[in-house]
Structure 1
């Protein structure tokens, strides 16, 4: 797939996406978290890229949301869903759902949503999701004790690009390799021409080293798992909580195709066991022998100093407890020979000195928990010429440090290789583990939305079906500024151009909002807040909100130009207009609206125009305009009582007519009667 062919992906973004392991497959999957791992691509941008890839896959080049108010309704619908997510990922992932005119895309999204609505949003699962987040790539780890070596310039460039964790050295012959063996704890030669090389040090010839990064630089894999420990443990907890709730994560993908299995892609106990062997900095944890060697290297200088103090204390105490007598001739002889205190110690306190040195050696071995072969090296640290304070051999300390460090590094390398081997099998499964957990949050958000607003999955039909337009039964808008439980259900169906009449505050605008919301959600492939709904698959949705006051000449001309463009090829469009008459004088408005409705009727468009001028528009039109009305039952204690479902083929009475009627009934008289007859 050509990345630049995706809507919204330019050359710079495409270059960033190519840094992913499999950019085409990743983008095609719609996995927002995976796309966001490209350099400089955040999750919001990743959602737009995923949406563009979905559009391209379905040949969905249209723009369904054609007006500002239509786009506002979409944002309000998305916000209702986002409010029901737990993770930031799910909030961004929902952005990949959009109103589409593609039948295949709607079907794909409906398949995903249908499975989602079957899920039970258990509190324990939502609690576990709180710590769940997409995996991240750790910073490059620099490994100082190992290097790669090659005599080939092309191999050198490839190794530097593919294994930035290690130094890559140029060698020409065995002598160069031997020198590297003295400088590095481990040397990996990439050229097969060096096979059979016999040099000192840990040197291996591995032409396939670049193909096996887990063996060559296990630190890379360990750093990934260390960086993502909390995310992996959280994802495991989500799977376990879902299984305990009887609703296991199915392993579905973002495009609606689900895996029939219900087991997580990796055994969570196995994952936790592997993570327990890894420290937060990517080093090995929980190995007693490695801990012993590491502590021995770190504590060596302090232990030597303490051991020397032990010897000094023993010797000092020995000197205090006995008298040392040296005859005059012996003293003169020692002085003439340039004797020092150590000579006197050797002559008079030899046994005591040996005991003190033995105590120092024993303390050093015990403090560092040395093995017998290591203790032999430690014995050389003390035991030179007698002295007070007792001295130690720094070269012996250096040799002991070198041996302990080498043993530590060998142990660490072995453990890293073993753990990397175990974790290598889990690398792809844990990606799926986290992806499934995050996708579960998306599903649960849709499930909660459907449950909170008593939603049903709508039927989306082709424009040429026998049931075009829209039909809504028991629809309740969650956008109203009242508790959803208090919203009165609305039944409404329209096919063709229709006028919607009704009293002020009778619910005409909220009915338009409900229609727009149901159609938008239906073409997103999501459930709608209604008992049932059938929606034509509209190519475009045009929703014009009520104008705030009469427009000046320029704005009025621009508005007419918009409607001129609207009726130019309006097939497959839904047009919702709220009180267009407010843009100019009522008489002119009625004629303009009548003309627009005539054009829309000629093209079999579905349209609902809310207007208080329904009678005048009907009279001005050259075809029989359908008029529906939101009927008011009357005024009770000053409160308007309304049947919220529009009545088909009915011109609803206005609020003034209801008030005049109430006054005529209450007070009688010719005045009110005559006024009522004029309606």
Structure 2
């Protein structure tokens, strides 16, 4: 996919997207969360880029929502869906759903929607989804216990690029290689020429190491899985709870993850734990061994019956007077026993095995008091234990990394499946919360049966269901606060959802395929000359843009407010005539329906939202429009009410009624 071919993606944005591991895949999936990780790309920008890629894929011209009010309806729909997500991913992912004029796009989403509506948004599944996030790479880390070695400058440069986590050293002889082996637990040599070189330490000749970096730096794989462990475990819980077919063996994955520490270290290996504990405890163990020896020797000195009183001897010894000779002459056996106890204590405390012989040399045979360790021997013991620990850790890391490396793609799919389930469950919850059904796409105009808008400021269960059907151009009349604007909102909502491929809040709905939704909200007050001219230009462009290939649905709320009432009726009649000539579908809400119909040269359909009367100051309204009926106005209903209630003034009110 050519990134710059995507609408809204220029060279700068394309360069930012190239920083991702697989931008093409993210674009194909509409993966907003991944796209938003590109440098300088916000979540909102990522959603627009993803939508642009989808439109390009479906050859969709876009711009279905053609007016500010139409865009508001779409944003309201999107918000209702996003409120029903658990993960941030699903929230962003839903932004790639948009109303489209493309048959293929609508049908593809409708197919997914049908499957989503069959899924049960059980509470335990939603709980399991909490904690699932897209997998991400950990920050770069340095590995300091091993290095790469080569005598070739080009190989050196290539190695630094391929495996930046470890040091790369230039060596030209065995002496320098030996120096590296003393400074690093493991040296990986990239040149075959060193194959016959005899060097002490863990030196590995691996000319092909750069072809498999994970073998040299298993921390790369382990770091990825450790960094994403919680997300993977959460995704596994989602699959188990929801009964999904996982892309990998969950038991094997969870067992491997249990062996990982948060920093990517391997846990659960007894030998590695033994060596790690020994390295960590060596100083404390040496001090403890010294105390054991000195306590034994002190007790022996105090209790020993020698030429001088034991207490005096102890005093002399503590002042350092003739210690060596006194110990050699009087306490040689006791000193040997004390040293042996120190050696045993050190070996036992550190649970030493292969390095036991070194540890025993930490306390010498020459009598001295107090007994002290040989620092040079202890340092050697520390070096040997550290090297053994690091070698063991590296082997364990390589083995575990080898097991996990082959699971990476499957784990990516595991998480993606869980995240996409959240998208599906948001659709399912939307459909269930608002009693939605899948609409039929086709025919002319629209038909709505038992439609209820979730956008009203009342509880959804309290919304009165309405029916409405329009084919062609129609004027919608009705009393103030009778629900005319709410009816337009409901129509716009259902048309928008239908072209998003989503279910609609109605018992039944049929919507003609539409290329553009023109919803013009009510203007506040009369427009000035410039705004009035601009509004007329918009309708002029609209009427000339309608075609069989791109049908338009026009919803207009009280356009008469743009200018004086008399002129408004003439203008609206002209607009409706032009729309009728082009076989457009349009609903114009107006209080001037009667006047418009009178001046129009084409017969215009008029529907009415009827009020049966007034009770306690409130209108009694049937909010389903009556076909072919001009609804009475609120003033007429009030005059009629007064005529019925006031017998004395009945003639006055009767006269007023005749004016309507």
Q: Which residue of 1 aligns with 2:524?
A: 548
1:358, CA displacement in angstroms? 0.7
Moved more, 354-363 or 424-433: 424-433
1:326, CA displacement in angstroms? 7.2
Q: Is the 1:384–1:393 Cα contact (8 Å) retained in structure 2?
A: no
3-state SS in 2 of match to 1:145? strand
Map residues 36-435 of structure 1 onto 2, 5 A cutoff: 36-192=36-192, 194-195=194-195, 197-243=197-243, 249=244, 263-325=245-307, 340-371=322-353, 373-435=354-416
Q: Is the 1:37–1:137 Cα contact (8 Å) retained in structure 2?
A: no
Is the alpha carbon distance of 1:4 and 1:154 closer, same or farther for their aligned partners in structure 2, counting shifts above 3 Å? farther
Is the alpha carbon distance of 1:415 and 1:458 closer, same or farther for their aligned partners in structure 2, counting shifts above 3 Å? same
Q: Give deviations 1:549-604, integer Å, cap 9, x for gaps.
A: 12222322222222222223133111111001112110011111111112212222
Q: Is 2:587 aligned against 1:608?
A: yes
Q: Is 2:429 aligned against 1:453?
A: no
Q: Which residue of 1 aligns with 2:485?
A: 509
Q: Which residue of 2 aligns with 1:253?
A: none
1:27, CA displacement in angstroms? 1.9
Residue of structure 1 aligned with 2:603, choices 595, 601, 624: 624
Aligned residues: 646
3-state SS in 2 of match to 1:144? strand
Q: Distance in 2 between matches of 1:268 and 1:641?
A: 61
Q: Distance in 2 between matches of 1:42 and 1:66?
A: 24
Is the alpha carbon distance of 1:665 and 1:100 closer, same or farther for their aligned partners in structure 2, counting shifts above 3 Å? same
Q: Distance in 1 between matches of 2:502 and 2:620?
A: 33
Q: Is 2:34 aligned against 1:34?
A: yes
Q: Which residue of 1 aligns with 2:645?
A: 666
User: Where do 5+ consecutive residues of structure 1 fail to align?
Assistant: 244-248, 250-262, 332-337, 462-466
1:213, CA displacement in angstroms? 2.5
Q: Which residue of 2 aligns with 1:252?
A: none
User: Where do 5+ consecutive residues of structure 2 fail to align?
Assistant: 314-319
Q: Is the 1:315–1:352 Cα contact (8 Å) retained in structure 2?
A: yes
Q: Is the 2:186–2:391 Cα contact (8 Å) retained in structure 1?
A: no
Is the alpha carbon distance of 1:156 and 1:35 closer, same or farther for their aligned partners in structure 2, counting shifts above 3 Å? farther
3-state SS in 2 of match to 1:530? coil
Q: Which residue of 2 aligns with 1:527?
A: 503
Q: Is the 1:43–1:89 Cα contact (8 Å) retained in structure 2?
A: no
Q: Which residue of 2 aligns with 1:478?
A: 454
Q: Is 2:594 aligned against 1:634?
A: no
Is the alpha carbon distance of 1:345 and 1:391 closer, same or farther for their aligned partners in structure 2, counting shifts above 3 Å? same
Q: Is the 2:55–2:62 Cα contact (8 Å) retained in structure 1?
A: no
3-state SS in 1 of match to 2:519? strand
Q: Give deviations 1:448-476, integer Å, cap 9, x for gaps.
A: 10001010111223xxxxx2222211111
Q: Distance in 1 between matches of 2:133 and 2:400?
A: 24
The normalised TM-score by structure 1 is 0.91
3-state SS in 2 of match to 1:567? helix
The normalised TM-score by structure 2 is 0.94
Q: Distance in 1 between matches of 2:122 and 2:135?
A: 24
1:176, CA displacement in angstroms? 4.3
Q: Which residue of 2 aligns with 1:652?
A: 631
Q: Give deviations 1:56-81, integer Å, cap 9, x for gaps.
A: 11111221111111111111111111
Q: Is the 1:37–1:136 Cα contact (8 Å) retained in structure 2?
A: no
Q: Give deviations 1:230-278, integer Å, cap 9, x for gaps.
A: 11111111112112xxxxx3xxxxxxxxxxxxx2112222222111111
Q: Distance in 2 between matches of 1:416 and 1:15?
A: 35
